Amino acid sequence: MYRAGTPADCTSLGISKALFPTVPDLVVSGINKGSNCGYHIVYSGTVAGAREAFFYGIPAISVSYDWVKGKSGVHDFTLAAQACIPIISAVVVEIKNQKFPQSCFLNVDVPNNAANHKGYKLTKQGNSIVKMGWKQVTSETEEQKMSSDMTNIDTQTPKDSCTSSVSPEQLLFAREVRGYVLDHEDTDHKSLQEGYITVTPLAALSQAEVDCRAYFRDWLQSVTELPSSSAL
pLDDT at 145: 46
Do 17 and 41 lie in a common domain?
Answer: yes
Interval 67-96 mean pLDDT: 97
pLDDT at 217: 86
Instruction: Tell me the pLDDT band of 157, cut-offs 50, 70 and 90.
Output: very low
**Full domain range(s) for residue 54:** 7-128+184-212
pLDDT at 101: 96
pLDDT at 124: 95
Do 158 and 191 lie in a common domain?
Answer: no
Question: Any residues with CB less than 8 A from the CB of 64 and at least 6 apart, and which?
Answer: 30, 31, 32, 34, 35, 36, 44, 46, 107, 108, 109, 110, 148, 149
Residues 9, 29: Cα–Cα separation, whole Å: 12
Do 207 and 93 lie in a common domain?
Answer: yes
Interval 28-53 mean pLDDT: 97
CB 41 within 8 A of CB 47: yes
**Alpha helix locations (H) across the chain?**
7-14, 45-55, 75-96, 188-193, 210-224
Neighbours of 199 (CB within 10 A): 18
Interval 68-96 mean pLDDT: 97
Q: What is the average pLDDT value for the chain, to the nearest integer?
A: 87
Quick check: 188 pLDDT over 80? yes
Do 33 and 82 lie in a common domain?
Answer: yes
- Asked, for residue 145, whether it belongs to a domain, the answer is yes
- Asked, for residue 111, whether it belongs to a domain, the answer is yes
Interval 61-89 mean pLDDT: 97
* Side-chain-facing half-sphere of 132: CA atoms under 13 Å: 16
Which of 5-9, 38-42, 207-211, 216-220 is least confident? 207-211
Instruction: Tell me the pLDDT band of 183, cut-offs 50, 70 and 90.
Output: confident
CB 126 within 8 A of CB 194: no
Do 36 and 148 lie in a common domain?
Answer: no
Do 135 and 206 lie in a common domain?
Answer: no
The 10s digit of each residue's pLDDT in 89-115 is 999 999 999 999 999 999 999 999 999
- CATH code (residue 70): 3.40.1210.10
Which of 13-17, 137-141, 213-217 is least confident? 137-141
- Asked, for residue 133, whether it belongs to a domain, the answer is yes
- Asked, for residue 227, whether it belongs to a domain, the answer is no
Do 15 and 104 lie in a common domain?
Answer: yes
Q: State pTM to two decimals.
A: 0.83
- Asked, for residue 162, whether it belongs to a domain, the answer is yes
| Residue 33, strand partner residues | 65
User: What percent of the chain clears pLDDT 90, i.e. is strictly above it?
Assistant: 69
Do 174 and 195 lie in a common domain?
Answer: no
- Asked, for residue 113, whether it belongs to a domain, the answer is yes
Do 33 and 48 lie in a common domain?
Answer: yes
Instruction: Tell me the pLDDT band of 144, cut-offs 50, 70 and 90.
Output: low
- When comparing pLDDT for 223 and 18, which is higher? 18
Handedness of CA 187, 183, 154, 175 (dihedral sign): positive
Do 207 and 138 lie in a common domain?
Answer: no
Residues 44, 37: Cα–Cα separation, whole Å: 9
- Asked, for residue 97, whether it belongs to a domain, the answer is yes
Quick check: 151 pLDDT over 90? no
Which of 49-53, 91-95, 180-184, 221-225 is least confident? 221-225
Domains in the chain: how many in total? 2
Quick check: 166 pLDDT over 90? no
Do 13 and 45 lie in a common domain?
Answer: yes
- Asked, for residue 222, whether it belongs to a domain, the answer is no
Quick check: 29 pLDDT over 80? yes
Do 44 and 95 lie in a common domain?
Answer: yes
